[in-house]
Amino acid sequence: MAVIEELIREEEDQTISFGNYLMETKKKVLDFEVNGHLYKIKTFCEITKLEKNSILLFESVPGTTVHHFYMDNKMVTFTIEGEKDSQITLELEADKEYKIYLDQVLVGKVYPKHSGKVTFSVNLEDKKTQEVKIEKIS
């Protein structure tokens, strides 16, 4: 896999890829339109942050590159790439239960309260990439 030189792009399969964890200085792209939604990306080695219609959708600390990000009302899937272990925050639907899978292994269930924010860690230091799937169960 490789970082996203243009910082964000729409893929042929209608997913988006974004982020560049190799950048030393913060870069951003505003008003990137996909299917009528406006995305804003800020990325560099310390953080990658994606907003959709001015609402936080994804954040990683330190920065990462995300490939084939897909989100609907039942699940989120993507492959994440980086040099260091990273903490991920996603904005999901509040008061619903979700299963989190990393590399197709169920690692736990979460129930975000009022904010809808879910935070978890990915291990990237040893293998550089990890597949993530989050599935709504209630």
Q: Which of 57, 65, 53 is nearest to 134 (CA)?
A: 57
What is the tens place of the pLDDT at every residue in 38-81? 999 999 999 999 999 999 999 999 999 999 999 999 999 999 99
Looking at the domain 8-136, which fold is it? Chondroitinase Ac; Chain A, domain 3 (2.60.220)
The model carries a pTM of: 0.94
Domain boundaries, the chain: 8-136
- Read out DSSP for 69-126? EEE-SSEEEEEEE-SS-EEEEEE--TT--EEEEETTEEEEEE---TT-EEEEEE--TT
